[in-house]
Amino acid sequence: MPLRKDEIIAVKRALSIRVHSYLDLAQRVRSDYSRDMVHDFRVTSRRLLAIEPLLITTSNTGYWRKRSRHWLKALNWLRDLQVMQSRFSSIAAIDKKLSGEIESELSRFKKSSKKIAGVRFRRRLLSSLDDYCIAVEASPKHASKTLFRYWRQVSAKTAAQLSRVDYSDIESLHRLRVKYKAFRYLLELLVECEFIDKRQVRNLKHWQDILGAIHDLQVAQNWLAKMTDTLGLQSQLNHEMQELSLSFQREKPALQLFIDGIDSQVNDCLKTKKPGECNKLLGH
């Protein structure tokens, strides 16, 4: 079913907000390397990349997609170090070592940060946004097809990973975390487009927080393993990690119900489409 005029306006507005929020924070992160700024830029980067599979249907997104991924990845270790420092700031020896590594990582990032979202990048990104918005106006069916086809892809992959997750395997939980993040950022777009009532997704971030905490504990444990006299701390972190894994396991039925419920709501928008039409996956 083609999108209505008000739905087209909502989609264009939501996409525009994501793009311009990214460009704003990209400008600010060039000189502000605080933990909050690093976190906000990483989030807005993921939110931008979450709409790229839509924009690629009407333009070549390769240039800005590759660079935005690179800048996001460049901040991963700095973010991990900052999180560890907030945990271990009361332990002088560890805090000192973390401070040194953070300074080194900041020095490396500062050298390349001035290149983030330069003129060519901005031009290409804004052009991709414009091309998609023009296509939406010209063919409301295009927006409906691409948006909901993408949803079915992300939702199916998240549900599949949840069904086979091994709670005793941290890597398995990490893979679920990756899939769930994609699910979250796309679902947030559907909320912003007013396809889903925001009251229905109050707990959306809850499960990602648990999976994120498990990941942070694993990163910290691996980092501590390189230091002497930290076996006690490593054991403590491992205990916390196992407790969180068990907590997530207990909440799996609630998460499954949540995903199924949201999927049902989105599918209501698809009920007049041809069978199988939305099962095709977007590919680059």
Q: What is the DSSP string of the chain?
A: -PPPHHHHHHHHHHHHHHHHHHHHHHHHTTT---HHHHHHHHHHHHHHHHHHHHHTTTS--HHHHHHHHHHHHHTHHHHHHHHHHHHHTTSHHHHHHHHHHHHHHHHHHHHHHTTTT-HHHHHHHHHHHHHHHHHHHH-HHHHHHHHHHHHHHHHHHHHHHHHT--TT-HHHHHHHHHHHHHHHHHHHHHHHTTSS-GGGGTTHHHHHHHHHHHHHHHHHHHHHTTSSS-HHHHHHHHHHHHHHHHHHHHHHHHHHHHHHHHHHHHHHTTTTSPTTGGGSPP--
pTM above 0.85, yes or no: yes
**With a cut of 70, which residues of the chain have pLDDT below it?**
269-284
